[in-house]
Structure formats: structure tokens, C-alpha cells
């Protein structure tokens, strides 16, 4: 008898948590829930008595924190530096604002419909003291925290409230560290406004000296990120370009194949030239498919193994779109191999096998529509839809009216 799958739902960490247990029982789920709630009470930004709230109330001073929270903050600074400033509290808006349109999930909004957040770098806001294992936030900066966890809503100008309870109507919320308190940090302002103190010196003493190297590294990393392209981006761009080229080249091969059996191009091209063009297009689009498959296999983010290329519906995400691509690739192998073995096959059998090209094109079109991020763009979707409609109309006409008269060579 297979073990029973049990679930447990509860609200914590400002979201809805779901725990799954396979044969461990409700006791294990209860222990996990207690662990999550304990972590929420200590580290969440939604409770006013958490460790993070104490860090926010530090008034620019170093605050002793637990080893767990110190490790979290240290990991956040490390991730910020390693990702050249991409990892931040608003990761998805930052990705979309940077034009990174990889489909993390189905239904991801277009970059034009997202208001990117202006977020300062973590080294501008957070500093850690390795000797005392303490942390400090810049004056007038804080990690966002709500006083009422039940009143959580979208982060906009109408719903965001500061710890003093006043609605921020004068400007929109801007993510990490941009919640300026109007009536706080009096001592910091007095020190900043003292004679001889420059306006840009926001951190007192050792905190400012410790911050400067991090700021320089952050600015340098941002300049370097504009000039370089990562391997992941290169693979992703190559995969998209190869897929689009293969799709339209396959469509052209199908159109020329239809023209060989009709009077579609009568007077414009001889059948011998048309046959040569059809054979060239048939050979030409296959390498682009192989390049698309190769880049998706090498790309670690896509998580497509070689066996997923021949056995459909095995991937853990976007099962239907990726599975349709696998089916289309299997049909490609059948059509390509039988085309080279045409002289050794029965003409009728070869003709029916070759007609699988239409099914293959339809499967590839669905795969591109469901999985291809570029097909959400009108400049790509419009010509693709026109090509699909043209091939469908010509194919139905041949199916209904039979084979057309061909022109003489």
C-alpha cells in the first residue's frame, strides 16, 4: 500500500504556506509549522517585535543580531555582489526592468506593463561588523515592515504606510530602504548639519569608512554588467533565434512543397527550380532545430536532459508546451530519416510518412505559441499567424478539391 499524502495549509511569513507529507503523519507537519512560525517571529519583516524590526529601529547604530539573521544578511550581501546587483528585495521587478524576459512561469506579464522599482544597492543600506557579529542600517533607511500583517496589500502609494502610521501619498513606494521617516533620526540630522559636515556623509565614523569599498564595487559591477553578456543569456538568446529561424524556414519549405503539387507559382518559377529550393529549405531548417535543442540541453536553467528530447512530458515545468516540442522533434526525426530512405521505401508509404510534416508543423506552432516568449510580441506573432493560416488554407484546399494541376517544366 502506498503511503498517504497529507497536506497542511496556514498563513505565515506574509503568505500562504503549504506543507506536504508522504507517510510522515500530521505530527511531522505540526513540527514543521512550529518551525516556520518560530522563524516568522524571529526574522519576518511583517511583525513589529521581530529581530528585523529591532534592526530597523537601530537608528543607524550597530545592533547585535542572532547568528541565523547575521548569516542571512551576509548571504544577501554576497548574492548581491555575485549577481552584480540583480539579487535584491524586488528580484522580479528588477529582472523585468532589465529586459530579462525568460518565462519563469506561465502568464508572466510583459515588461512594458510593470513599473520597475528604483532600489538602492544593498551595500548602500546594510553593513555588517564581522568582529562583533552585529548589523546596522543607514540612517533614514529601513527594511520594509508592516505594522498590521492582516492589512498587507500591493506596494503602492495608497497602501504603503510608515511605522508612524502616515500614508505615503507624496511618492510611490520604492522598495528596500526607501521608507524615510519624517520625525526620526534627529541626532543623525544634527550631526549631518553640523559645521564642516558634508551632506553626502550619511554614515557616522567607522560605518561610513566600511561602506565606501562596497559602494565602489557596486558601481563598478553595474558598469561591467552593461558591457558583458553571461553564458546563460547567450544560450537563451541563441535558442530563441534558432527556434524562430527554424520555424519560418520550415514554413517556407512547406509552402514550396505545396507549390510543387499545384499551380501556385505558375509563370514565376519552373518546377525544377522550385524542387531545388524545396530541398534546400528542407536541409536548411534542420540545423537550426538542432541548435535550438542543443542550447536548451546545455542551458542549466532550462533543465532539459537528453532523454527529454525523445520522451515527451517528462520535464517538471510547462509539461504541455515542452512535451509538444519533444513530439515535434520525434516527428522531425521520422520525416528526415524517411526522406533519405525514399528510394528504399514504397512510394505510397513514403508519401504518407512525408505528410507527417504538416502534423509536425502544427505541433511546432503550438509549442512555439505556448512556450516561446517571443510569440507574445505582435511583430513575431502576426507573421507567424499569417504563415500558419496560409498553410492551413492551402492544405484544406488540397484535401477538399484534390491535387491541383502542375505546370510543365
Supply the angle between the helices 67-82 and 205-227 in degrees, to the nearest 10.
40
List CB contacts of 198: < 8 A, sequence separation 6 or more. Answer: none
Say whether both 245 and 352 belong to one domain: yes
Q: Are residues 243 and 212 in the same domain?
A: no
Residue 406 included in any domain = no
Same domain, 5 and 115: no
Regarding whether 24 and 162 lie in a shared domain, the answer is: no
Give the per-residue pLDDT at 70.
Answer: 83
Average pLDDT, the chain: 70
Confidence class of residue 211 from pLDDT cuts 50, 70 and 90? very low
pLDDT one-digit tens code per residue, 49-93: 788 888 888 777 888 888 878 887 887 777 777 766 655 554 544
Contact status, residue 309 vs residue 297, Cβ threshold 8 Å: yes
**Does the model's pTM come out above 0.85?**
no
Tell me the C-alpha distance between 177 and 212, whole Å: 18
Whether residue 70 is found in the same domain as residue 99: yes
Domain of 57 in residue numbering reads as 46-227
Q: Are residues 177 and 121 in the same domain?
A: yes
With cut-offs at 50, 70 and 90, classify the pLDDT of residue 271.
Answer: confident
Predicted confidence (pLDDT) per residue in 310-354, tens digit: 999 888 777 888 899 999 999 989 988 888 888 888 888 888 898
Q: Is residue 256 part of a domain?
A: yes
Same domain, 296 and 323: yes
Q: Is residue 242 part of a domain?
A: yes
Instruction: Give me the pLDDT at residue 144, please.
Output: 56
In the predicted structure, residue 239 carries a pLDDT above the cut 50: yes
What whole-number percentage of the chain has pLDDT above 70?
Answer: 63
247 lies in the same domain as 383: yes
The verdict on residue 145 lying in a domain is yes
Position with higher pLDDT, 316 vs 98:
316
Q: Cα dist. 163→48, 98, 149, 263, 386 in Å? A: 9, 31, 13, 76, 56
Q: Are 142 and 127 in contact (CB under 8 A)?
A: no
pLDDT at 87: 58
Q: Which residue has the cell 513606494?
A: 173
Q: Does one domain contain both 213 and 241?
A: no
Let me know whether 23 and 128 are in one domain.
no
Q: Into how many domains does the chain fold? A: 3
Burial (Cβ within 10 Å: 0-12, 13-18, ≥19) of residue 145: buried
Within-domain flag for 408: no
User: Which uninterrupted H or E stretch holds 399?
Assistant: helix 378-401
> Of 198, 227, 256, which residue is a domain's last?
227
Q: CA 283, CA 253: separation in Å to the nearest integer?
A: 9
Beta-carbon contacts of 70 under 8 Å, excluding residues fewer than 6 positions away, are: 128, 133, 134, 135
DSSP β-bridge partners for residue 9:
18
Residue 148 lies in a domain: yes
**Is there a domain that residue 407 lies in?**
no
Alpha carbon distance 160, 179 (integer Å): 9
Same domain, 246 and 386: yes
Same structural domain for residues 38 and 54? no
pLDDT in tens, 82-92: 766 655 554 54
Amino acid at each position: 500500500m502506498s503511503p498517504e499524502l497529507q497536506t497542511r495549509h496556514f498563513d505565515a511569513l506574509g503568505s500562504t504556506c503549504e506543507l506536504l507529507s508522504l507517510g510522515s503523519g500530521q505530527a511531522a507537519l505540526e513540527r514543521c509549522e512550529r518551525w516556520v512560525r518560530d522563524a516568522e517571529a524571529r526574522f519576518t519583516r511583517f511583525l513589529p517585535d521581530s529581530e528585523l524590526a529591532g534592526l530597523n529601529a537601530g537608528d543607524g547604530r550597530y545592533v547585535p543580531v542572532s547568528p541565523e539573521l547575521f548569516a542571512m544578511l551576509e548571504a544577501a550581501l554576497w548574492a548581491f555582489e555575485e549577481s552584480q546587483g540583480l539579487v535584491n528585495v524586488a528580484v522580479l521587478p528588477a529582472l523585468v526592468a532589465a529586459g530579462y524576459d525568460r518565462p519563469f512561469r506561465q502568464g508572466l506579464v510583459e515588461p512594458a506593463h510593470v513599473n520597475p522599482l528604483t532600489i538602492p544597492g544593498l551595500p548602500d543600506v546594510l553593513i555588517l561588523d564581522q568582529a562583533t557579529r552585529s548589523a546596522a542600517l543607514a540612517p533614514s533607511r529601513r527594511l520594509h515592515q508592516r505594522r498590521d500583517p492582516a492589512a498587507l496589500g500591493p506596494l503602492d502609494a495608497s497602501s504603503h504606510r510608515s511605522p508612524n502610521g502616515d500614508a505615503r501619498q507624496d511618492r510611490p513606494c520604492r522598495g528596500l530602504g526607501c521608507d524615510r521617516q519624517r520625525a526620526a533620526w534627529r541626532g543623525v540630522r544634527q550631526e549631518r548639519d553640523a559645521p564642516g559636515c558634508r551632506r553626502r556623509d550619511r554614515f557616522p565614523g567607522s560605518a561610513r569608512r566600511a561602506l565606501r569599498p562596497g559602494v565602489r564595487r557596486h558601481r563598478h559591477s553595474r558598469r561591467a554588467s552593461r558591457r558583458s553578456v553571461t553564458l546563460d543569456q547567450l544560450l537563451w538568446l541563441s535558442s530563441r533565434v534558432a527556434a524562430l529561424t527554424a520555424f519560418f524556414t520550415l514554413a517556407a519549405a512547406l509552402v514550396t512543397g505545396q507549390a510543387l503539387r499545384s499551380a501556385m507559382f505558375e509563370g514565376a518559377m519552373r518546377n525544377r527550380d522550385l524542387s531545388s529550393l524545396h530541398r534546400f529549405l528542407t536541409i536548411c531548417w534542420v540545423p537550426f532545430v538542432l541548435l535550438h535543442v542543443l542550447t536548451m540541453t546545455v542551458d542549466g536553467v532550462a533543465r532539459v536532459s537528453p532523454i527529454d528530447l525523445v520522451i515527451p512530458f517528462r520535464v517538471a515545468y510547462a509539461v504541455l508546451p515542452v512535451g509538444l516540442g519533444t513530439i515535434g522533434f520525434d516527428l522531425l526525426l521520422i520525416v528526415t530519416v524517411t526522406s533519405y530512405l525514399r528510394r528504399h521505401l514504397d512510394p505510397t508509404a513514403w508519401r504518407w510518412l512525408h505528410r507527417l510534416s504538416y502534423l509536425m508543423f502544427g505541433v511546432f506552432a503550438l509549442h512555439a505559441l505556448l512556450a516561446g516568449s517571443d510569440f507574445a510580441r505582435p511583430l513575431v506573432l502576426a507573421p507567424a499567424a499569417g504563415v500558419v493560416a496560409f498553410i492551413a488554407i492551402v492544405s484544406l484546399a488540397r484535401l477538399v478539391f484534390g491535387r491541383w494541376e502542375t505546370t510543365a517544366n
